[in-house]
Structure 1
Amino acid sequence: MTFPELETERLRLVEVNKEHAEGVFDNFSNPAVTKYYGMDPMTELAQAEKLVERFKNSFLTGHSVRWAMIRKEDNRFAGTIGLNNLSKGMKRAEIGFEIHPDFWRTGITSEALKAVLHYSFTEMGLHRMGAVTFLDNVASIGLLEKHGFEQEGILRSYLFQNGQSHDARVFSVLNNQ
């Protein structure tokens, strides 16, 4: 199975692999990044290496696709974006992403999201893309709404992080082309 590489004006979207483990750790060990991610911050590189391996295995089994966002101008790892809970038979998935604070408010997550949505709807034939956010994750909510996602409701105690349950917002966008 060949991994689908994508390209935008400023990014190469490639398979997350071992060479990205330090970048993954840099992101997922940062409390500002994991604040709204639904997981506690990583404390050692081995955790990132295991996550990279999970990304690979989930792709190989058809359950997800996770891209590394690599900035073209300097080949820097910015974060990841991908499809979770992928169900090709039901023509749906959920989008998820995280990005290093150095790249916040630069528009590259929006650029990556646009490319992944296009690929998902036109190449994969998906019909529905969902997303789940913490209630107060204003940045992600704004990004999703900018790309046509609509809030469907609140999931009670859906996320567990930092020793407690959190409600979540569920969003979706449909391929109406």
Structure 2
Amino acid sequence: MDFPTFETQRLKLVHIDHQYDQAYFDIMSEDKVTEYYGMDSLKKVNQASKIIDSFEDTYMKKHGIRWGIIWKETRTFIGTIGLNNLSTWSKRAEIGYELHPDHWRKGIATEAIRSVLGYSFREMGLFRMGAITFPDNVSSNNLLEKVGFKKEGILRGYLYQGDKSHDAYVFSMLRSEWLD
């Protein structure tokens, strides 16, 4: 099965393989990236390699899909975006993403999210897209609302990070609410 890749005005969304181990590690070893990620910062490049293997495994099992975000101007790997908990039978998934801090607040995540939503609703035929965030992750919460997600409520003790459980917000968007 061919991995779907596509481009936006400034980005390429590509298959993630081991050529990106170091770049992915450089992102996920940043405490400010993982602060609200639901996992601790990576300490070794081989951890990044194992996660990239898990992206491939998840894709092959049709439980999710993860794209690398390439900044076209410099051909640099700057983050990932993808679908977690994918159920094509139930026509739903959850979106997740992260960017290197050097690329925050440039509209990149917005551009990538809109592209993945378009693919998910048009090409994959999904009906519902969810998102799970830490309540304190104000930037991500605002971003999701900006692109049209609605906050549904709180999942108590849903995320585990830093040796403790944390509440989470759950957001969603339905295909009928998505504006192409």
Question: TM-score w.r.t. structure 2 length?
Answer: 0.97
Partner of 1:61: 61
Structure 1 segment 4-23 matched on structure 2, within 5 A = 4-23=4-23
Number of residue pairs matched by the alignment = 177
Partner SS for 1:37: coil
Identity over aligned pairs, percent: 54
Partner of 1:34: 34
Shift of 1:147: 1.1
Aligned alpha-carbon RMSD (Å)? 0.7
Partner of 2:151: 151
Cα distance in 2 for partners of 1:84, 1:2 equals 19
Structure 1 segment 13-162 matched on structure 2, within 5 A = 13-162=13-162
Cα distance in 2 for partners of 1:23, 1:112 equals 18
Question: TM-score w.r.t. structure 1 length?
Answer: 0.99
Shift of 1:6: 1.4
Cα distance in 2 for partners of 1:82, 1:40 equals 19
Gap regions ≥5 residues in structure 2: none
Shift of 1:43: 0.4
1:140-161 C-alpha deviation (Å, 9 max, x unpaired): 1111001110011100010010
Gap regions ≥5 residues in structure 1: none
Partner SS for 1:165: strand
1:107-143 C-alpha deviation (Å, 9 max, x unpaired): 1110000000000000000000000000110111111
Shift of 1:93: 0.1
